[in-house]
Amino acid sequence: MKFEIQPKRFFLWTYVALSAAFILHDVAVDFRDGLLKKVYESGKTDTINALIANVDNGKCEAVNVYSGEKKVDLINVACLSGVGNQTSSTSPEPLPELPVSQTGTSD
């Protein structure tokens, strides 16, 4: 029995195999990117929740936050204004609006 390679059949199966490999790779990359995004968002949410819990601890103490060489001290604004951690049914006074320059826009 002699084995003959038929060019049309060979190229068809090569095309099918390469297409399947590309599709599987694309699906795997999309899955990985989606998973990494979910993990990143979850870590960011956990960090913010921990920061809020540390700042809103009722002690009115500053919390040190570091990022590399940079450092800032955070404190709850309610502590500075003497309100404490009490919640009220009235809304706080709105902050004054800052003027916004309209340079470079054309209407």
Residue ranges of domains in the chain: 7-80
The answer, as to whether pTM is greater than 0.75, is: no
Q: Look at 6-10, 40-44, 58-62, 68-72 and tell me which has the smallest mean pLDDT.
A: 58-62
Q: 76-103, pLDDT tens digit by residue?
A: 888 877 765 454 444 555 555 555 555 5
Closest CA to 51 of 86, 29, 34, 75: 75
Nearest-10 Cα torsion for 8, 11, 14, 15: -100
